[in-house]
Amino acid sequence: MSSLSEATRRAGRRLALVPTMGFLHAGHLSLMAEARSRADVVVVSIFVNPSQFGPAEDLSRYPRDLAGDLAKCAAAGVDAVFHPAPEEMYPAGHQTFVEVTELSRGLCGDRRPGHFRGVATVVTQLFALARPHVAVFGEKDYQQLLAVRRLSRDLHLGVEVVGMPIVREADGLAMSSRNAYLAPQERVRALALSRGLEGAQDAFQRGVTDGHTLRERVRAELRRSELREDYVELVDAETLHALECADRPARLLVAAFVGSTRLIDNAPLG
């Protein structure tokens, strides 16, 4: 990876990186297409990062399909795939971690202790190895996107971090590798997340800005489909500070359990 990056830069060409954990879907392909529009060389990393999973989380059963992923990358015109082994990224004696403090608090940061430290660490490693001019991330993991953007700024890494809109199934469900865990009836119930967000957006368009009312539009859908709420929060779109009124660019974020599967989604307001 380092040799490819060095040769690309020596030739005066732009390199784009699309970091993924594999099990690729149309959402990932949209990131690759954007990367292709912004650079001469597109690299996709496929690495299920152990440091961002908690002890009770789904690292061992996280869905994997390397052969299928490579075929999708080839069809998308990707120039190279970086697929390191865990022991290459975290060799014996590894003891250095990176943390984005404020943006990693609250939301998924509170529910998944250590998660964003693992994300920040592996992204720093990927940026150091690939030395991309631009990196493309999806907005579904909105807190992650803002943390990575801050990471690049604060450490002067010189990587333009681009966020791309959520890609959804025809019925509105946000595309996610974890959707593979859902049984057919759970898949139907999971639509409550996108329905709730859409209802809140409709209310906002009609002039509703009260945070409680907007959050309740989402919670009502979760209750109707018997999903277990993890959080429903209205936040400032840049700082992630909690808001009681959508009187500035804001984001409504939701996390909920469908059976044992935890799904996240979000939508912009304003």
Among 10, 19, 25, 69, CA closest to 167: 25
Q: For residues 73 and 42, what is the distance between their CA atoms, to the nearest angstrom?
A: 10
Residue 95 confidence (pLDDT): 97
In order of 52, 62, 74, 122, 155, the CA distances from 59 in angstroms are 9, 5, 26, 15, 29
Residue 65 confidence (pLDDT): 98
Residue 205 confidence (pLDDT): 98
Q: Does the structure show a pLDDT above 90 at 213?
A: yes
Stretch 105-133: mean pLDDT: 98
**CATH architecture, domain 2-164:** 3-Layer(aba) Sandwich (3.40)
Average pLDDT value for the chain: 98
Q: Residue holding tokens 């990196």?
A: 135
Q: Does the structure show a pLDDT above 90 at 270?
A: no
Structural domain boundaries in the chain: 2-164, 177-269
Stretch 23-42: mean pLDDT: 98
Q: For residues 33 and 11, what is the distance between their CA atoms, to the nearest angstrom?
A: 22
Stretch 104-133: mean pLDDT: 98
- What's domain 177-269's superfamily in CATH? Pantoate-beta-alanine ligase, C-terminal domain (3.30.1300.10)
Phi (first) and psi of residue 153, to 5 degrees: -70, -50
Q: Does the structure show a pLDDT above 90 at 70?
A: yes
Q: For residues 128 and 29, what is the distance between their CA atoms, to the nearest angstrom?
A: 24
Q: Which residues of 83-106 are buried (b: 16+ CB within 10 A; e: fewer)?
A: eeeeeebbeeeeeeebebeebbeb
| Percent of all residues in the chain with a pLDDT value above 90, rounded to a whole number | 99
In order of 4, 28, 78, 213, the CA distances from 33 in angstroms are 20, 9, 9, 37
Stretch 102-121: mean pLDDT: 97
Q: Residue holding tokens 């020596």?
A: 10
CA 56 to mean position of chain CA atoms? 20
- In this structure, of 55-59, 137-141, 145-149, 211-215, the range with the lowest mean pLDDT score is 55-59
Q: Residue holding tokens 């929060």?
A: 233
Q: What is the DSSP letter of 249?
A: S
Q: Could you give the residue numbers annotated as active site?
A: 28
Q: Does the structure show a pLDDT above 90 at 193?
A: yes
DSSP helix/strand/coil, 261: strand
33 burial via Cβ count (<10 Å: 0-12, 13-18, 19+): middle
Stretch 119-139: mean pLDDT: 98
Categorize the per-residue pLDDT at 118 as very low, low, confident or very high, splitting at 50, 70 and 90.
very high
Rama region for 55: left / alpha / beta (φ>0; ψ in -120 to 50; rest) = alpha
